[in-house]
Amino acid sequence: MYELKAVDKKFPGVHALKSVDFHVKRGEIVGLVGENGAGKSTLMKVIYGAYLPDGGTVSINGKPVRLQNPRQAMEMGIGMVFQEQSLIANLTVMENIFLGYEAQFVRFGVINWKAMADAARKQLAKVKLDIDPAMVTSQLSFAQRQLVELAKVLTLEERVQGDLVILLDEPTSVLAEDEVKMLFSIIRELTSRASFIFVSHRMDEVMELSDRIYVMKDGQVVDTVERGKSSPEAIQQKMVGRNVDKEYYREHRQKSFDASAELLKLEGVSLAGRIRDIALTLHRGEVLCLVGTEGSGREAILRTIYGMLTPTAGKVTIKGEAMDRFTARAAVERGIGYVPRERKIEGIVAGMNVYENMTLSQMGSYSKGGVLNVGAEKALARDWISRLAIKAHSEYADCGNLSGGNQQKVVLAKWRSGGSDIMLLDHPTRGLDIGAKEDVYEMIRDMSDDGAGVVLVADTLEEAIGLSHTILVIKDGEIQKRFACEPGAKPTLFDLLHYMI
């Protein structure tokens, strides 16, 4: 019914989709799996009209179509339920459901709220959600919001003639087990009216729900698996291209840290509306992982340590010295390095070359009286390019043109070459391919061996568990639970989720 043939998409420096064939039959649930950077999100964006493919054809019921934007895609019956929820928190549920399509309720320029509420109730009934449509969205739980998202997309049913295709991007990532079950039963019932494309990192869920699974790797569909024809391990292996075991996170290199060597201590640190009463201690050789949902306050903690945010209460002690002035400069001078989540925006300066990026945080050490010693800078860059096997034609390469993994290496080299021994890593492997991820994991273990302390916000829970010595679960800006993560005695995903939501 919905079909992609030989679809190609290129971005500067990345071939994101390589001749992808993909189709969805009527009433089918299709799973889509792949590592970060395998091309899943690009493929989804092509499907719901956010990207135009560079090559290949998109057709619906055999007719080729050209979807210029998501709205056009919606008019063709293709809807998207976003992972990072797209509902506007301060609007009511019904306003969110009919956002952009209020015209049907307007009489003489005035919205008939009653009619909208009735229509919204009808949509909510489809997902078995019994709430007042006039409720403000921010009062709903995560699971309820997820269902409202789905209800919003299901309004397509009334608006569009013909079949629906609904994309679900990681719909279960913030749901508890029983909520997942409920969502799945709703989805199964809805297959009478729509087909679904289901994207998730959780292999067991994809296997449970999908009739067919597309496995993507490096921008290609490497396999399609029918229901019950494969095991999670086999699929995982196809995604990664080889066996994945616990060596992946280099657990064999995890050594116990020195609990007497304190690097960093937070006591009662609060930031109005963001975090409350945070207390933590980081030691030499320790990897301390902050775990929580989006917006739980993990990033605020990192940024407070880095001096980009000034806490409203509490004490931050770095290597025995209490901080009184919160600036990034002061943090850098005390040996803190920060690898931000938005690598392309905050990590590297695109338009500057490798050596310029590497010395940006430490220009003082490569200059005298404000005059730069460019020779020394270049030597440093050459050294680290070979040490970390950075793929750049030379130290003159524009960092904006490097691949994600190599950009991340430049960022890490920037801090490590300056001797930073408190490293704050925010999603350091986000968007990297497997090989680059493993390089980052190696580097984290190297840092531990060198006696550096790492505060990590991981990309996935598995990564958090695999890498850390200590896990702190954060929820609504507060620490809920501390887990020790010695190899062999690591907490499970479910242990963590229990405290996250």
Partner 1 sequence: MSIHQLKSHFPWITLLVLVAIVGINDPNFLKPVNLLSLAGDIVPLFIMALGLTFAIYIGGIDLSAQSMANMITVVASVYLASFGPWVALLCVAAGFALGMVSGYVTTKLLVPSFISTLAVGGVCFSMAKWLSGNRALNMEAAQRDSTFGWMIGHTGMIPNELFIAAALLALCIFIERRTTLGRALKAVGAGELAAAASGVNVARYKILAFAISGALAAVAGLLFAVKLSGGAPTIANGFLLPAIVAVLVGGTPLTGGVGGVINTAIGTLLVAVIRASMLYFGIEATQQQMVFGLVLIVAIALTIDRSKLRIVK
Q: For residues 12 and 488, which CB has a smaller minimum distance to partner 1 in the complex?
A: 12
Q: Whole-number minimum distance, CB 220 to partner 1, in Å?
A: 27
Residue reference for tokens 């649930």: 29
Q: For residues 118 and 333, which CB has a smaller minimum distance to partner 1 in the complex?
A: 333
Q: Does 361 bind partner 1 (CB under 8 A)?
A: yes
- Measured distance CA(161)–CA(60) in Å, rounded: 13
Q: For residues 238 and 430, which CB has a smaller minimum distance to partner 1 in the complex?
A: 430
Q: Does 109 bind partner 1 (CB under 8 A)?
A: no
Backbone angles phi, psi at 337, to 5 degrees: -120, 145
Q: Whole-number minimum distance, CB 5 to partner 1, in Å?
A: 30
Among 14, 308, 309, 379, binds partner 1 (CB under 8 A): 308
Q: Whole-number minimum distance, CB 367 to partner 1, in Å?
A: 5
Q: For residues 105 and 306, which CB has a smaller minimum distance to partner 1 in the complex?
A: 306
Among 62, 109, 228, 370, binds partner 1 (CB under 8 A): 370
Q: Whole-number minimum distance, CB 89 to partner 1, in Å?
A: 22
Dihedral sign (CA 130, 136, 138, 139): negative
C-beta atoms surrounding 10 within 10 Å: 15
Q: For residues 191 and 365, which CB has a smaller minimum distance to partner 1 in the complex?
A: 365
Among 6, 259, 313, 360, binds partner 1 (CB under 8 A): 360
Q: Whole-number minimum distance, CB 350 to partner 1, in Å?
A: 6
Q: Whole-number minimum distance, CB 327 to partner 1, in Å?
A: 8
Q: How many residues lie near partner 1 (CB under 8 A)? A: 31
Q: For residues 296 and 353, which CB has a smaller minimum distance to partner 1 in the complex?
A: 353
Residue reference for tokens 């306003």: 95
Q: For residues 110 and 371, which CB has a smaller minimum distance to partner 1 in the complex?
A: 371
- The closest of 269, 219, 218 to 240, measured between CA atoms, is 218
Q: Whole-number minimum distance, CB 125 to partner 1, in Å?
A: 39
Among 152, 414, 427, 469, binds partner 1 (CB under 8 A): 414
Q: For residues 346 and 495, which CB has a smaller minimum distance to partner 1 in the complex?
A: 346
- Measured distance CA(260)–CA(262) in Å, rounded: 6
Question: Which DSSP letter does residue 380 get?
Answer: H
H or E element at residue 357: helix 354-358
Q: For residues 268 and 351, which CB has a smaller minimum distance to partner 1 in the complex?
A: 351
Q: For residues 176 and 350, which CB has a smaller minimum distance to partner 1 in the complex?
A: 350
Backbone angles phi, psi at 186, to 5 degrees: -65, -45
Residue reference for tokens 């919204």: 120
* Piece of the chain touching partner 1 by CB under 8 A; list 38-46, 211-219, 226-234, 356-364: 356-364
Q: What b/e string do you get for 265-287 counting C-beta neighbours within 10 Å, with b at 16 or more? A: bbeebbbeebbbebebbbbbbbb
Q: For residues 331 and 497, which CB has a smaller minimum distance to partner 1 in the complex?
A: 331
Q: For residues 134 and 345, which CB has a smaller minimum distance to partner 1 in the complex?
A: 345
- The closest of 349, 304, 347, 343 to 327, measured between CA atoms, is 304
Q: Which two tokens stand for residue 70?
A: 């998501």
H or E element at residue 321: strand 321-322
Q: Whole-number minimum distance, CB 8 to partner 1, in Å?
A: 20
Q: Does 363 bind partner 1 (CB under 8 A)?
A: yes
- Measured distance CA(74)–CA(85) in Å, rounded: 18
Among 149, 211, 286, 356, binds partner 1 (CB under 8 A): 356
Q: Whole-number minimum distance, CB 349 to partner 1, in Å?
A: 4
What does the DSSP assignment read for 243-257? ---GGGGTGGG----
Q: What angle do CA 320, 326, 329 make, to 5 degrees?
A: 90
H or E element at residue 108: none
* Piece of the chain touching partner 1 by CB under 8 A; list 184-192, 207-215, 248-256, 360-368: 360-368
Contact string (CB under 8 A) for partner 1, positions 121-150, x = contact: ------------------------------
- The closest of 73, 180, 194 to 126, measured between CA atoms, is 194
Q: Whole-number minimum distance, CB 319 to partner 1, in Å?
A: 17
- The closest of 63, 60, 70 to 26, measured between CA atoms, is 60
- Measured distance CA(336)–CA(420) in Å, rounded: 5
Q: Do 483 and 499 form a contact (C-beta atoms < 8 A)?
A: no
- Measured distance CA(316)–CA(296) in Å, rounded: 20
Contact string (CB under 8 A) for partner 1, positions 316-355, x = contact: -----------xxx-xxx----x-x-x--xxxxxxxx---
Q: Do 339 and 405 form a contact (C-beta atoms < 8 A)?
A: no
Q: Whole-number minimum distance, CB 501 to partner 1, in Å?
A: 30
Contact string (CB under 8 A) for partner 1, positions 248-287, x = contact: ----------------------------------------
Count of helix runs (H) and strand runs (E) in the chain: 17, 24
Q: For residues 54 and 157, which CB has a smaller minimum distance to partner 1 in the complex?
A: 54
Among 89, 115, 374, 389, binds partner 1 (CB under 8 A): 374
Radius of gyration from C-alpha coordinates of the chain: 25
Which positions touch partner 1 (CB under 8 A)?
306, 308, 327-329, 331-333, 338, 340, 342, 345-352, 356, 359-361, 363-364, 367, 370-372, 374, 414
